[in-house]
Amino acid sequence: MPKVWIFQKRHAQWLIVAAFALVAAAALIRWDASRTAGALPAEARTIELVTVEFKTSMSGGKEQELYRWDPGNISVQKGETIELCLNGFQGKSHPFVIEGLGIKGEVKKGETTVVRFTADRVGTYPIICLSHTDMRHSGPMIGYIVVHD
């Protein structure tokens, strides 16, 4: 004789409650794991950069200005977390990009712009001021971040 199961409304309610509890527990476990994985590194190496202006009088009395990042070259290790503090010491405004790292920002006189990144690829990444791109614009104002293995 075949077995017949009788499914009552009360059984359906208990099944729904159990399924909901199982989904909620799984979501809670996954949520806790994602919080741990997304944590920021405990320490970042801080590197200070300043904007520097050089002035001189050319023959004929014409004054020439030239802007630079100081230091002009920064050396970091692959995998290192860097906090780059760009300090506006001279010049009104220096909008910049760091090519290859997808970073852009602006440094203003008397202010500090902080950029935090992890150097995850070996290479040389130029820091380019978009206001001072060539000699006609008191530049080029370019620095380099060199990531070593």
Least confident range from 17-26, 42-51, 76-85, 115-124: namely 17-26
Q: What is the CA radius of gyration of the chain?
A: 29
Confidence category of residue 98, pLDDT binned at 50, 70, 90: very high
pLDDT in tens, 37-85: 444 555 899 999 999 988 888 888 888 888 899 999 999 999 999 999 9
d(CA 112, CA 108): 7
pLDDT at site 77: 94
pTM over 0.75: no
Query: Is 70 exceeded by the pLDDT of residue 6?
Result: no
d(CA 37, CA 53): 43
**Token pair for 109:** 């006189």
Query: Is 50 exceeded by the pLDDT of residue 36?
Result: no
Structural domains in the chain, CATH included, are: 45-148 (2.60.40.420)
pLDDT at site 10: 73
Mean pLDDT of 77-103: 92
Instruction: For residue 9, give the H/E element and its range.
Output: helix 9-37
Spatial neighbors of 106 by CB under 8 A, at least 6 apart, are 93, 94, 95, 96, 113
Confidence category of residue 28, pLDDT binned at 50, 70, 90: low
Q: ∠ CA(62), CA(63), CA(67), 5° rounding?
A: 145
Q: What is the rounded average pLDDT for all residues in the chain?
A: 84
DSSP-derived letter for residue 104 is E
d(CA 25, CA 18): 11
